[in-house]
Amino acid sequence: MTKLERRNLFKGLAFLSPWLIGFAVFTLLPIILSFYFSLCDYSLLQTPVYRGAENYRTLATDPVFWQSMRVTAKFALLALPSGMILALILALLLNVKIRGQSIYRTIIFLPSLVPAVALAMIWLWLYNPKLGLINLGLRHLGVSSPPGWLSDPVWSLPALVLMSLWGVGNTVIIYLAGLQDVPADLYEAASLDGAGTLAKIWHVTIPSISPVIFFNLIIAIIGTVQQFTLPFIMTPSGQPARATYFYTMYLYDNAFSYLKMGQGSAMAWIQLLIILALTGIAFWTSKRWVYYQGK
C-alpha cells in the first residue's frame, strides 16, 4: 500500500466512522445477540441461561406460533396480489393522457401519506359495526345484517386487506415512474402489427416494466412480513379468535408482555430467515420473467 493509499484509507474510514460504529452497535451486535438469546432461557430480569435449541422446539409445537404464521401468510396471499394488481391498473389509468390527470394522481396518492396510527383510527371508525360509514351504507343498500368487520373472526382479516388497498398510492407512483421509461417505438410497432390496447398492455407494457413489478414485490414482501402497527391497534391480541394475530404481534408479546426474550429472539431469527428466503426466491425467479432493456 502506498502512502497515498494509506492516507485515503484512513480518511475514508474516518468519514465512515459514524456508520461503522452504528452498524457494529445497533445492527451487527443485536443480530449476534439475538441468535445467542434465541438459544437461551432469558426473562430479561435474570441472566440468560443456555438451553440449546429448546426455544425453537417449543415454537415448533406451539399452536399460537403456527396461528400467527398462518395469519401472516394468509394476509400476504390476499394483500400482495390484490394490491399489486390494483396499483398496476391505477397506474395504467393515470398514465392515459386526459385532463385533470394531476388531480386524479394526487387524490389516489394522498391516503398513502396518512400516518399508521391515524389510518387505524379512521378505519376503526369506518368499520364500526353499528355507527361506521361502511355498515350504514350497506344497510342503506338493503343489507339487513352487514358483517361485524373487525369484531367478526371471519371478516377481520379481509377487512385489514381491504384497508391496505386504500394506501396503494405509493406503489402506483413507482409503477407510474416505470411507465415513463417504456420506449414509445415499441407501442408504435405494436400498433402497426394491429395490436389493441389490451394486447399492448400485455405484450409491451408489462414486460417493459417487469423490473419495477419485481422491485415492488420485494418491498411488499418485506413490509407484509413485519405487519404490526395496524393490527396491533385495531385488533388487540388479534381478537376475536386470534384471527388477526400477526407474526410480529406474537413476537412482541413474547418479548415484552410475557418477558420471554429467548422465545422472542428465536422468532426474530426465524423472521430474518423467512425474509431472506422470500427475497432470495423473488430474485431467483425474476430471471424468468424480468426483462431488462438492452440485455
**Contacts with another protein in 38-57 (CB under 8 A)?**
44
Task: Give the DSSP H/E element, type plus range, for residue 140.
Answer: helix 133-140
Provide the grid cell at 176: 407510474
With CB under 8 A as the contact rule, the residue among 3, 99, 288, 295 that binds another protein is: 99
Mask for 159-198, x = binds another protein (CB under 8 A) = -------x---x--xx-xx--x----------------x-
Q: Does residue 106 bind another protein (CB under 8 A)? A: yes
Report in angstroms the alpha-carbon separations of 154 from 95, 203, 243: 37, 39, 8
Least gap, CB of 125 to another protein (angstroms): 5
Spacing of C-alpha 214 from chain mean position:
14
Q: What is the DSSP letter of 98?
A: -
Q: Does residue 281 bind another protein (CB under 8 A)? A: no
- Cα–Cα nearest to 259, from 27, 36, 48: 48
Total residues at the site for another protein (CB under 8 A)?
A: 97
What residues between 245 and 274 interact with another protein by CB under 8 A?
A: 248, 251-252, 255-256, 261, 264-265, 268-269, 271-272
Q: Does residue 9 bind another protein (CB under 8 A)? A: yes
Pairwise CA distance, residues 83 & 98, whole Å? 24
Span of 31-39, 59-67, 70-78, 198-206 interacting with another protein by CB under 8 A: 31-39
Pairwise CA distance, residues 242 & 64, whole Å? 9
Q: Does residue 117 bind another protein (CB under 8 A)? A: yes
Span of 75-83, 130-138, 154-162, 184-192 interacting with another protein by CB under 8 A: 130-138
Mask for 201-220, x = binds another protein (CB under 8 A) = --------------xx--x-
Burial 209-245 (b: 16+ CB within 10 A, else e): bbebbbbbbeebbeebbebeebbbebbeebeeebbbb
